[in-house]
A and B are shown apart, each in its own frame.
Chain A
Amino acid sequence: MWAFCSLLALAAIPATLAVKAHDFKTCSQAGFCRRGRALSARATENPAWRSPYSIDASSLALSPDQASFTAAVKSSIYPEVNFGLDIRIHDDGVVRVRMDEVGGLRKRYDEAASWALLEEPKVSHSIQWTVAKDKVHAKYGAKNNFEVVVAYEPLKVTLSRNGQEQVVLNGRGLLHMEHYRTKESVAQSKQGIAVPEEGFDTDDSQVVLEQAHPRAAWFEGETEDGWWEETFNSFTDPKPRGPESLSLDIDFPNHGHVYGIPQHATRLSLPTTTGEGAYYSDPYRLYNADVFEYLADSTMSLYGSIPFMQAHSADSTVGIFNVIGSETWIDVGRPTLKATTTHWISETGILDVFILPGPTPADVFAQYTRLTGTPALPAHWALGYHQCRWNYISSEDVRSVQQRFDEEDIPVDVFWLDIEYAEDHKYFMWDHKLFPDPVDMIKDVEAIERKMVVIVDPHLKRTNDYPVYKEATELDVLVKVKDGKTDYEGWCWSGSSAWVDFFNPKSWDWWKGLFKINGPSYGWHWTESTENTHIWNDMNEPSIFNGPEISMPRENIHYGGWEHRDLHNINGMLFHNLTSQAVMERSNPPKRPFVLTRSFYAGSQRFGAMWTGDNLGTWEHMGVGVKMVLANNIAGFSFAGSDVGGFFGNPEPEMLVRWYGVGAFAPFFRAHAHIDTKRREPYLLDEPYKSIVRDILRLRYSMLPVWYTAFREASVTGLPVLRPHYVAMPHDEGGFAIDDQYFIGSSGLLVKPVTHKSVTEETVYLPEDQVYYDYFSHQAYRGAAKGKNVTVPAELHQIPLLIRGGSIVPTRERPRRSSPLMKRDPFTLRVALDKDGNARGELYLDDGETYSHREGNFIWREFAAQKLTKKSKGVRISSRNLAAQKPAEAVDHVALAKYDDGNDFAKSIAGVRVEKLVVLGLPAKPTSVSAGDKELQWTYTPGISASEKKEGTASVLVIKDPKLSISGDWDIVVQV
């Protein structure tokens, strides 16, 4: 007995320290993935492999005035089964390829696109298909240099540019849509055709694998592997619809790097999973899952899935958006350094692939966000610092945390409440023993113009004294078990719980009504709330403690009779979507909602922010968090961050300080901690750590204009807020694999957060022949056309942050307690001259919380520094009205016809001025600095000029208070 107990103790201790990898499937444990990889293996081994799928040329139907056609597709292994192909080309050159089984036993899930897409894309009217004997093809593009070729037999779709293959579908013949079949029909068909098997002992019950259709065996394999039922970790999936998976190879014959398909804890440039010397052994998995203490280097699936991939080379960027809602595994191979192969294996659904032709990263982002939407422009305060913990335990606790921040003069915008605010984890229901006065508490936070974020999870405690659950049962909007009638019951924080089926339209208005403070709504609504209470959606994978892979049984039934497996990866987005709408509609006029989600899908960027889930307080997790946030940024979802400090564990002060350095340069900046950890709010740190963290937070706040301006650009153009090298410098091959330093929007700021212990300096890669200035010391570094590494100081109090020569960076440098309190503060402009003596920057500002910017209430300025004349050393620094120049491109969702200078917002900030300009890299001391006919006060410190080749401290001209408005046109002339 003692031995038994001590064994248990031994087993339990290490188990608490690592991911429960065995709780989650590997490819070999998922029948369809196993089948997909086996198919790929057979194809590789067989030189004569040829896809059985072909187009029936006689069925081809071109639409008369549109760039689309339909055609019947046949499979030689199942001639009796019919498939339909539909290919169309959009206005912007995106090619959409759809294929579905026609007249099958049942319908395959075809609604993923309806949830992911912003709207039905417009099909081009100018592109014409040409029908040839063995193919149909179309040329298009401004230079007519794009060509889509659809070959009939075997079926193959190729996109080329300038005659070079960019994307090839089914080039390796791995396309396979498992048609619907019944167990009985399979058995019958085998009897009909079966060749007698000798030596096959049918009485031997040990032989459980049945033989597959003989004609299909070369393609599908010899056995019905995992067709009808699968068991994993004591959970049996009854698979009532049998095999229905989808396999497709998508190759990039001329691209050596692929990025995207978040969320995985891995590098930005995806390492290979197949082929010789593959870095990983399992494919990248997309199956939203609550992975406890996830690994920092793995292809395991995490909380969210965006099936969007980019392939990149020095002269071309293309994208693939494979809009599928079911579990998907993606193998990545690299037969040569210049080519990438991918193989996508999905459990269910139709084939619905968008080919994004690029050819630049900016084009791909525009194409992708035209499909799924640009990131929502966040409320300005949401870019401030968020302080969270599981849990601030009472109203008094919240007040005292706020007080401590203010006593230490550390800025913060948002205080968060995790699940313990809710009585018995019945979300919305305050635990009045601990929070006797929630509204007063929130108002105390609001008094410093701060906000609160409160958690609302999707599991509803099954008790009739919980109005939310009661109403959900009355409305009959809960997810059902496989009979389609009985409400599903699972186990989560709240104990026995039920889940709202947000695919059911009946749930929508009801859910939105719950958030109304004063009603009206369906029934119960949240009176104990305020318009400044925003929401955190966690556990929406959904996380279910007693479910298979900590989630929902795949055979559960959603609205429309779809199985959970069909839409699993979309599920979390719907919850986020509806909550986001609810928070927006709570105010009149509507205010921009802030809703944080853990689970996400393509399109989630329209609804709020995400974070990288329950990370560990380790250097590895800090480092991979940076890469994961970058991966989300390039997958359309810019508003991303990881928990500062690490969710699990107690980081030592050095680690915590570095983590603030990481968070301050992430779009979403939140510190969070597990309930078992020691408190670690910045004010609890000893010196010098406390002051360093205060300075980092103040740095973040000073740069809010940069972040907000970057978000404007993202919300209009789809360009990510964080730009890795391949995005910012697409032609520089040296930067393609770099994922630990990045640019912030178009600001010219290049940052490399420190994510290693005991670092005193960092190597920063400079991708071009240009001067880069240290943001703090004004040290001038020189890059090179082929790329060059420079060494930058990175002591604990330092962050490697450079300004690219040629940039003008607007900041607000007065420390405040919260970001709304900065709205009257003056600006500082850092003018970092490039080697030619010029610079440029932008600033976007609006009220930061409503949608009135879409009615023209904002300012959008352009600052420029230009040499006075070609040979002059002097510079003219000017401010111009970009909004008036490009009203149609100014704000998200609307193309304004014109811009009015006298808009309400512009009027409200008429008194906000530029208080200081810092000009870096002038060649010599000015003789005069003037605005109009007025001579300005200035000081000059000699140093390195932007145009020199030398390194050293740059020359600095500080212009004191020119008394110029931030929102007006002006010119400052620096005579040298």
Chain B
Amino acid sequence: MHPWLILLLPLHALASTKKPHGVSPELAARYIPVQKGSSEVWECLDGSKTIEWSAVNDDFCDCPDGSDEPGTGACPNTRFYCVNEGHIGAFIPSSRVRDGLCEPECCDGSDEAPGVCKNVCKEVGEAYRERVRAEQKLRKTGAKIRSTYIAFAQKEKKRIEEELAQTEREIATREKEVSRLRDLVERTESLSAAALEVRKQSPLYQILMTHVTALKSLKREYQKHLEREKALGEILDNLRTGYNPNYQDMAVLEAVRGWEHLASLPHINDVAKEDDSTADTGSDEEAGEEEEDQPDDGLWSELQLEHQLDELLNTDYEALLLEHDKLVGAPASETSILYNLSAYLPDAVVPQYEALRDQLVSWLEALGLVKSAPTVSADASRLQKALSDAEHSLDLTRKEKEQKEKELQRLFDPEWYGAEGEWKKLDGTCLSKEVGDYIYEVCLFDEARQKPIKGGSTFSLGHFESRNNAPGVVKGSPEYYRKQRYTRGAKCWNGPQRSVTLDMTCGTENAVLSVAEPEKCEYEFKVTSPALCLPLSPAEEKGYAASKKEEL
């Protein structure tokens, strides 16, 4: 029984006399043996060990850092370099060296034993260059469109700035009006306030105010309950349509049945069993509404409560108080303070006052707030209303200004429309894609939705939240723009709130290419947009021109 020795092709022979197999040009200089006595030795790249030069690429891992086997894959977690003459050099992990597969990255076939893989670098290189050219062409075309977006943003900037100036002028005008009215009101109020205070002591007014408070509280509670009912109804609807029968959960089934009974819906499984398309729950819901109890005589209906309660609560009680006085013949209400005020004023100011009063009265009349011969107290409160209206308008205009300022500021904000404003053009642009039974839609910077084609309710998949907020992504970098997150969509049954990630690439069109749901209720839209097509760098431009010539 003699040792069975086998012949193995000495792998280091493959390395020839030049740099060892699998070494990148940058490291080639470090793979040089040192003469030590009669033998050639070599130091592992990390300096931890000196080995025989013949042990380099001998298909046995000697160095702790694996540097002695750049060309055999004997050391795990190292890299192999393929020269790929005619194409570009590439690294592959040592796990792919001599595994029997020809790596596409190593078109020269150097990752496998000689004869296993053909050298296809010529073809691969050509195809690669063709791909780069096509990519650059697409980018060039896209960049042209992108530049129109940028121009649009510039125009927008101008427009908003002009509007802003206009708004500022408007604010100035309104501020003047408000200050004039306020002045008036203050004067009137100081006179009427004392009288009004006395009247407010009336028990009738007091109890009225208590009623108002009570009514407001009731309304608040009522609203709360309405919202709660709606939310519960939605939860139960989702439960009913979305529960997974494999959970074999009798409690869930009972909940569904209970809800169906309460809301007069047919049993979902029966519906599904009969025919999905004829399952029209809508008509049943209507029937359910009809069955609702009619309100008792004199009591408000739900509709009235909804629409008329606010109106009632907005009643001007002070005005009412004064009017009440008039009706019951309180002496002070016989003559209007506004008209009789002159009696209390020093003579010197009477003419000015009268001019002012006339102007005020005519102004109030024009507004329809006072009829002729109004009472002073009523006038005061109406004046107050005019003031608050004017203040409200001012407020609105100021808000408008803020809005425009925000718009202006967002225009070149990387978090919004990009450093160059290239996304402004797409604000609110809706892109959609039909997948299966749904249309998926995203309105950029706004909201994403899922609309069933065969009818049913549309679900919000989320509202614009951010760009690529993954750790390590620099705000404003190309990577940053390649993703958009839409979050806080409708909640999933037994799951999270729906959300969407847009995975965006340069393309000549704004379009959703595909929609996927890699995890339940977390969607991924692949989207193309010219807004992502950056112009070629000068170097790329040069390469592109050269390759085009080549093409010709």
Chain A residues within 8 Å of B, Cβ to Cβ: 1-2, 4-5, 8-9, 11-12, 15-16, 20, 22-23, 233, 290, 292, 393-394, 396-397, 409, 433, 447-449, 491, 493, 495-496, 543, 545-546, 550, 675-679, 698, 813-817, 821-824, 826, 910-911, 913, 915-916, 931-932, 934, 960-961, 963-965, 968-971
The one of B95, B258, B435 in contact with A815, judged by C-beta atoms closer than 8 angstroms, is B95
Alpha-carbon distance between A11 and B253 when the two chains are bound, in angstroms: 12
B73 in the interface, Cβ–Cβ < 8 Å?
yes
- Rounded to whole Å, the gap between the CB of A676 and the closest CB of chain B is 5
B6 in the interface, Cβ–Cβ < 8 Å?
yes
- Which B residues, 186 to 235, have Cβ-Cβ distances below 8 Å to chain A? 228, 232, 235
With A675-B520, A815-B76, A816-B99 known as contacts, the answer to whether A495 contacts B272 (CB < 8 A) is yes
* B514 lies within 8 A of A396 (CB): yes
B344 in the interface, Cβ–Cβ < 8 Å?
no
Q: A4-B262, A915-B59, A970-B3 are in contact. List 11 more A-B contacts (CB 8 A).
A: A4-B258, A11-B251, A23-B248, A393-B517, A394-B516, A409-B95, A493-B246, A546-B245, A678-B519, A814-B76, A815-B77
> 30 interchain pairs (CB within 8 A)?
A4-B262, A9-B232, A11-B251, A12-B249, A12-B252, A16-B247, A20-B248, A292-B249, A396-B516, A397-B516, A449-B101, A491-B269, A496-B273, A543-B246, A677-B519, A679-B519, A814-B73, A815-B77, A817-B96, A817-B99, A821-B99, A913-B6, A913-B8, A932-B2, A934-B3, A961-B59, A963-B8, A964-B5, A965-B4, A971-B3
Alpha-carbon distance between A493 and B246 when the two chains are bound, in angstroms: 7
* B246 lies within 8 A of A823 (CB): no
Alpha-carbon distance between A310 and B494 when the two chains are bound, in angstroms: 44
Alpha-carbon distance between A965 and B495 when the two chains are bound, in angstroms: 57
Alpha-carbon distance between A675 and B58 when the two chains are bound, in angstroms: 49
Closest residue of chain B to A694 (Cβ to Cβ) is B77
Alpha-carbon distance between A964 and B2 when the two chains are bound, in angstroms: 12
Closest residue of chain B to A879 (Cβ to Cβ) is B4
- Which B residues, 452 to 486, have Cβ-Cβ distances below 8 Å to chain A? none
Alpha-carbon distance between A397 and B99 when the two chains are bound, in angstroms: 26
B300 in the interface, Cβ–Cβ < 8 Å?
no
Interface centre among A543, A815, A817, A913 (most CB of B within 10 A): A815
* B98 lies within 8 A of A824 (CB): yes
- Which B residues, 234 to 254, have Cβ-Cβ distances below 8 Å to chain A? 235-236, 239, 245-252, 254
Alpha-carbon distance between A8 and B74 when the two chains are bound, in angstroms: 63
Closest A-B pairs by Cβ, 9 of them? A968-B4, A932-B3, A15-B251, A821-B99, A961-B60, A815-B95, A8-B255, A545-B245, A965-B6
With A20-B248, A491-B245, A495-B272 known as contacts, the answer to whether A970 contacts B255 (CB < 8 A) is no
B368 in the interface, Cβ–Cβ < 8 Å?
no
* A15 lies within 8 A of B248 (CB): no
B295 in the interface, Cβ–Cβ < 8 Å?
no
- Rounded to whole Å, the gap between the CB of B77 and the closest CB of chain A is 8
Interface residues on B, range: 35 or more
With A12-B251, A496-B273, A915-B59 known as contacts, the answer to whether A931 contacts B5 (CB < 8 A) is yes
- Rounded to whole Å, the gap between the CB of B424 and the closest CB of chain A is 32
Residues of B within 8 A of A2 (CB): 228
Residues of B within 8 A of A4 (CB): 258, 262
The one of B101, B494, B495 in contact with A448, judged by C-beta atoms closer than 8 angstroms, is B101
Closest residue of chain A to B258 (Cβ to Cβ) is A8
Alpha-carbon distance between A371 and B3 when the two chains are bound, in angstroms: 43
Alpha-carbon distance between A1 and B259 when the two chains are bound, in angstroms: 11
B1 in the interface, Cβ–Cβ < 8 Å?
yes
The one of A449, A493, A676 in contact with B520, judged by C-beta atoms closer than 8 angstroms, is A676
Alpha-carbon distance between A363 and B546 when the two chains are bound, in angstroms: 79
The one of B1, B95, B272 in contact with A816, judged by C-beta atoms closer than 8 angstroms, is B95
With A5-B232, A11-B255, A821-B101 known as contacts, the answer to whether A911 contacts B246 (CB < 8 A) is no
Closest residue of chain A to B52 (Cβ to Cβ) is A937
- Rounded to whole Å, the gap between the CB of A925 and the closest CB of chain B is 19
* A932 lies within 8 A of B252 (CB): no
Closest residue of chain A to B245 (Cβ to Cβ) is A545
* A910 lies within 8 A of B249 (CB): no
* A397 lies within 8 A of B248 (CB): no
- Rounded to whole Å, the gap between the CB of A958 and the closest CB of chain B is 10
* B3 lies within 8 A of A964 (CB): yes
Alpha-carbon distance between A916 and B58 when the two chains are bound, in angstroms: 13
The one of B248, B250, B251, B436 in contact with A433, judged by C-beta atoms closer than 8 angstroms, is B436
With A16-B249, A545-B245, A961-B59 known as contacts, the answer to whether A821 contacts B100 (CB < 8 A) is yes
- Rounded to whole Å, the gap between the CB of B270 and the closest CB of chain A is 12
* B273 lies within 8 A of A15 (CB): no
The one of B4, B8, B254, B259 in contact with A969, judged by C-beta atoms closer than 8 angstroms, is B4
Residues of A within 8 A of B236 (CB): 5
Residues of B within 8 A of A447 (CB): 101
- Rounded to whole Å, the gap between the CB of A687 and the closest CB of chain B is 13
Interface centre among A1, A22, A543, A676 (most CB of B within 10 A): A676
The one of B6, B94, B435, B514 in contact with A963, judged by C-beta atoms closer than 8 angstroms, is B6
- Rounded to whole Å, the gap between the CB of A303 and the closest CB of chain B is 14
- Which B residues, 1 to 56, have Cβ-Cβ distances below 8 Å to chain A? 1-6, 8
Residues of B within 8 A of A963 (CB): 5-6, 8
The one of A20, A409, A550 in contact with B93, judged by C-beta atoms closer than 8 angstroms, is A409
* B4 lies within 8 A of A970 (CB): yes
Residues of B within 8 A of A550 (CB): 248
Residues of A within 8 A of B95 (CB): 409, 814-817
B282 in the interface, Cβ–Cβ < 8 Å?
no
* A964 lies within 8 A of B252 (CB): no
B346 in the interface, Cβ–Cβ < 8 Å?
no
- Rounded to whole Å, the gap between the CB of B276 and the closest CB of chain A is 9
| A-contact 0/1 string along B68-102, CB 8 Å cutoff | 00000110110000000000000001111011110
B518 in the interface, Cβ–Cβ < 8 Å?
yes
Alpha-carbon distance between A816 and B76 when the two chains are bound, in angstroms: 9
* A433 lies within 8 A of B6 (CB): no
With A396-B516, A409-B95, A961-B59 known as contacts, the answer to whether A931 contacts B248 (CB < 8 A) is no
* A15 lies within 8 A of B1 (CB): no
Alpha-carbon distance between A448 and B551 when the two chains are bound, in angstroms: 35
- Rounded to whole Å, the gap between the CB of A10 and the closest CB of chain B is 10
* A393 lies within 8 A of B516 (CB): yes
Closest residue of chain B to A971 (Cβ to Cβ) is B3
Closest residue of chain B to A823 (Cβ to Cβ) is B100
- Rounded to whole Å, the gap between the CB of B384 and the closest CB of chain A is 42
Alpha-carbon distance between A496 and B275 when the two chains are bound, in angstroms: 12
Interface centre among A496, A545, A822, A916 (most CB of B within 10 A): A545
- Rounded to whole Å, the gap between the CB of B329 and the closest CB of chain A is 51
Residues of B within 8 A of A448 (CB): 101
* A969 lies within 8 A of B6 (CB): no
The one of A233, A679, A814, A822 in contact with B74, judged by C-beta atoms closer than 8 angstroms, is A814
Residues of A within 8 A of B101 (CB): 447-449, 821
* A969 lies within 8 A of B1 (CB): yes
* A292 lies within 8 A of B246 (CB): yes
Alpha-carbon distance between A521 and B143 when the two chains are bound, in angstroms: 57
Closest residue of chain B to A489 (Cβ to Cβ) is B273
Residues of A within 8 A of B60 (CB): 915-916, 960-961
Alpha-carbon distance between A61 and B305 when the two chains are bound, in angstroms: 95
Alpha-carbon distance between A850 and B24 when the two chains are bound, in angstroms: 41
Residues of A within 8 A of B99 (CB): 816-817, 821-822, 824
- Rounded to whole Å, the gap between the CB of A240 and the closest CB of chain B is 27
* B58 lies within 8 A of A961 (CB): yes
- Rounded to whole Å, the gap between the CB of A778 and the closest CB of chain B is 16
The one of B8, B258, B518 in contact with A393, judged by C-beta atoms closer than 8 angstroms, is B518
Residues of A within 8 A of B514 (CB): 396
* A911 lies within 8 A of B6 (CB): yes
Residues of B within 8 A of A961 (CB): 58-60
* B3 lies within 8 A of A292 (CB): no
Closest residue of chain B to A5 (Cβ to Cβ) is B232
With A409-B93, A448-B101, A823-B100 known as contacts, the answer to whether A932 contacts B246 (CB < 8 A) is no
Residues of A within 8 A of B8 (CB): 911, 913, 963
* A15 lies within 8 A of B6 (CB): no
